[in-house]
Amino acid sequence: MTAAPTNLAGLDLRAEIDRLRREKNAVILAHYYQRPEIQDLADYIGDSLELSRKAAASDAEVIAFCGVKFMAETAKILAPEKTVILPDVNAGCSLEDACPPEAFKAFRAAHPDHIALTYINCSTEVKALSDIIVTSSSAETILAQIPRDQKIIFGPDRHLGGYLNRKFDRDMLLWPGVCIVHEAFSETELLKLKAQHPGAPVAAHPECPPHIIDHADYVGSTSGILGYAKQLPGDTLIVATEPHIIHQMELALPGKTFIGAPGADGNCNCNICPYMALNTLEKLYLALRDLTPQVHIEESLRLAAKTSLDRMLEMASGSVGRGDLGARS
Ligand code: 13P
Ligand code: SF4
C-alpha cells in the first residue's frame, strides 16, 4: 500500500478527491497518458473515443476531465448541461497548436471539392469547420464509409493521415501538423532496443512517423495498444506511444515487461506528453473543490462543432472497445 499523497498543507488528496466527487456528483474521466496516481482514482480511463462516449452518456453533474483541452471541450460539446472542469487550463496539444482555425478555413476554401476529415486533436473552431471528426480508434471504420472518389482533406496530424493513405491506398491532402511526443521517437534507438530484446514485438500509435511505424508489429489507438498487450504471447513488448499507458499494462499483466520506445538520447522520458503531465492530484482536488477552471463554449460554435462530432459517433458505431486501426498490412 503506497502512502496517501498529501500536499496543500498535508491533505490526504485521494480521500479529499473522493469526498468531493461524491459531494459534487462528479465523474472523473482520465486518458491513458495521465499520471498513474490520476489513472488510479479515475472512474473511467480510456482513449479519446471512449472518453467522448462516456462524457456524452454520463449522468453526473460535473465531469472532471483529466486529459487535455480538446478532450474536455469535446465533453462540453457533447454534454453542454454538465459542468466540465480541466485541472490545468494550459493542458493543450501540439496538434491543436499546429492548426490555427483561420489558416484551416483558408485551406478549406482553396479546396472546395474536398471534405474535411479531421482528427479530434484540434480546437473546437476547427471541429466547427470540419465535416467529420475521427479518433485513432475510429478513423479506419469511418474512412471505409467514404467513397473512394471523394476528395478529402485530412488534418491536423500528417502522420495519422499518411498512415491511413498508405494502408488504404487513399490520397487525402494532409495538413502538416505533428504530435511532438510521437515525433520524438528515434529509429536508431528503437533498432538498438529491438536488438537487445530479440523477438519482442513493437506496438505503435499511428501518430508516430513512418520510420517508427515501419518497425511496428501492431499499430493502433491507445486502447488498441492496450488490447494488443493483453494478448501478447511473449513476455516483452516495446511500446511506441506516451509511456504513461504502461501503467495499465503493468496492472493488467504484472508478470510481463513493457519497455517505452526511446527518444534520440536513448531515454524514453522525452516522450512524456508535457501537456498531459500538467494535471496533478493537487490541481484535480482544487478543480473539484472550486469547480474551476471550467470549459465554456459559445452556443453557435458548440452546435457547429457538434455536427462533425455527431457524424463521428454515428459512423464509428461498433468500433468502441475494439479501439484499433488493426494490424499493419
Ligand atoms: P487515443 O485516441 O489513441 O487515445 O489518442 C489520443 C492522443 O492524444 C494520442 O496522442
Ligand atoms: Fe497532443 Fe501528442 Fe500530447 Fe496526444 S501526446 S495530447 S497528440 S501533444
Please state which CATH number belongs to domain 185-260.
3.40.50.10800
Whether 173 contacts 152, CB under 8 Å: yes
Domain boundaries, the chain: 6-91+276-298, 95-179+304-316, 185-260
d(CA 198, ligand 1 centre) in Å: 28
Q: Could you confirm whether domain 6-91+276-298 is CATH 3.40.50.10800?
A: yes
pLDDT digits (tens, 9 = 90+) for 34-66: 999 999 999 999 999 999 999 999 999 999 999
Is 122 one of the annotated binding-site residues?
no
Nearest atom in ligand 1 to the alpha carbon of residue 47 is 4
**CA atoms of 291 and 289, how far apart (whole Å):** 6
pLDDT digits (tens, 9 = 90+) for 72-90: 999 999 999 999 999 999 9
Ligand 2 pocket check: which of 31, 34, 65, 95 to mutate, most ligand atoms within 8 Å of Cβ?
Answer: 95
Return the percent helix, strand and coil in the chain, to nearest 5. 45, 15, 40
Asked if the domains at 95-179+304-316 and 185-260 fall in one CATH topology, the answer is: yes
Is 66 one of the annotated binding-site residues?
no
Nearest atom in ligand 2 to the alpha carbon of residue 68 is 6
Q: Is 50 exceeded by the pLDDT of residue 328? A: no
d(CA 12, ligand 2 centre) in Å: 30
Residue with cell 509511456: 243
d(CA 54, ligand 2 centre) in Å: 20
The pairing of strands 114-119 and 132-134 is parallel
Q: Is 70 exceeded by the pLDDT of residue 323? A: no
- Smallest CA-to-CA distance from 309 within 135, 142, 133 is with 133
**Would you identify the CATH topology of the domain 95-179+304-316?**
Rossmann fold (3.40.50)
Q: How confident is the model at residue 322 (pLDDT cuts 50, 70, 90)?
A: very low
